[in-house]
Amino acid sequence: MNFSSIADQPTAVKTLRSALSKQRVAHAYLFLGPSGVGRKLTARVFAAALNCEGALDERPCGACPSCRLIGEGRHPDVQIILPTKRSATITVNQIEGLLPFAYMRPIKGRTKVFIFSEADRLGLASANKMLKTFEEPPPSTVFILITDRPENMLPTVASRCQPVKFGRLTAETIKKILVRDFHVEAGRASVAAELAEGQVTRALQFTDPERLEAITGIISSLGGCSERLQAYDRLLALFNDERLKLQEQAEKDIAPSPEEAGASAKSALADLRKAFVDRHYREFLNDCLGLLLTLYRDILILRETGIDKFIFNRNKVKLLRGLAERMSSAVLLQNVESIDQASAYCSHYVAEDRVFLDLLFGLRHA
């Protein structure tokens, strides 16, 4: 584990390496950027560099005892702070528990490192506790706050951290990660990487075979009315399953803390859960439409060139070739416009059952 393992983040790597080489490490960093682009990996690599036993210009070496312990998540001087499952926030009790350790001398390495995985989940009281520490930072201690929503952080906390910005990954990088680390088939990984908007976490969602089959069912059912209705029923089942999963996740991740009670707290909790489900469900619907667009893109390529080398869904090539033979380019482009329109409707919270029913009966097959 070293800086070379961090892909597509040259600015962040340069900033951190410069701080190490000049021995001008800040007491607190704010890692800014979307999830799934390597922020947590970079935090661990930086923690390893701060405690590496190798030569200064080779840190982290990835081989010394400190580097290995940090890579395994077992180094006593490096802690990762997560929101509690019960309250979905980083609580005051968590902050009060770690602060005494922050002021102690390192146990094994040179620097204590505290990594806040979702720093925007610091509640007001927790953030104020941290603020006092940032105003009088302990020696030999570094705080790394990671967030994709800096607007939800207490401004006085964020302003006391050195910002380090992270960008989105390239599709080629994501494909390599999916194939190497998650053993996704190369063709499927290509599709997922193109749709992932530079985030590995989103790419993993596009590797779901159940979702792909339901979306493929749309283009393979563009015959009579009964076939389209069957495809519609499969889609609704997929949508209902996804909504239930999101509701369960919201119940689990956004739960009241023991001290929270009363009607106002329950109402606020319900609003948080609803916002969580709605946001992720709308992303899911648009991701489904994105998958459908890749299928029509492939059909258009086969229609115009007859070559399957450049298509995403190569495991569906037989189906796609048959559709390419039947559909004109004008029809394909019209269908693409219909999908774009459906995506716009979903973004404006039009009921998805109506949107996809209209889409299914609006798509042309010849």
237-257 pLDDT, tens digit per residue, is 989 998 998 888 888 766 655
Residue 259 banded pLDDT, cuts 50, 70, 90 = very low
Q: Judge contact between 44 and 1, C-beta under 8 A.
A: yes
Among the listed residues 336, 341, 366, the one whose alpha carbon sits nearest the alpha carbon of residue 355: 341
Lowest mean pLDDT among 18-22, 40-44, 93-97, 221-225: 221-225
pTM: 0.69
Stretch 8-36: mean pLDDT = 93
CA angle 159, 25, 67 (to 5 degrees): 120
What residue segments make up the domains of the chain, in order of their start? 3-165, 208-362
Instruction: For residue 64, give both structure tokens.
Output: 């010394």
Mean pLDDT along residues 355-362: 90
pLDDT in tens, 123-139: 788 888 888 888 888 88
In this prediction, residue 75 carries a pLDDT of 93
Sheet strands side by side (includes 78-81): 78-81, 112-116, 141-147, 28-32, 162-165
- pLDDT score of 85: 58
The overall average pLDDT reported for the chain is: 86
Q: What is the mean pLDDT of residues 215-232?
A: 82
Contact 30, 134 (CB under 8 A): no
Residue 111: the pLDDT is: 94
Contact 324, 311 (CB under 8 A): no
What pLDDT sits at residue 116?
93
Percent of the chain at pLDDT > 90 equals: 34
- pLDDT(81) > 60: yes
Tens of pLDDT, residues 260-308: 455 655 676 777 778 778 878 888 888 888 888 888 988 999 999 988 8
Structure tokens at 346: 């979903």
Q: What is the largest CA-CA distance in the chain?
A: 74
**Averaged pLDDT, 225-244:** 88
Contact 48, 1 (CB under 8 A): yes
Of residues 211 and 176, more confidently modeled:
176
Question: Which CATH code for domain 3-165?
Answer: 3.40.50.300
> What's the mean pLDDT in 52-64?
87
What's the whole-number mean pLDDT along residues 150-171? Answer: 92
| Residue 86 pLDDT class (50, 70, 90 cuts) | low
Quickly list DSSP for 177-214.
Answer: HHHHHH---HHHHHHHHHHSTT-HHHHHHTT-HHHHHH
Of 311, 313, 312, the closest CA to residue 303 belongs to 311
Mean pLDDT of the 33-42 span: 92
What single DSSP character describes residue 119?
G
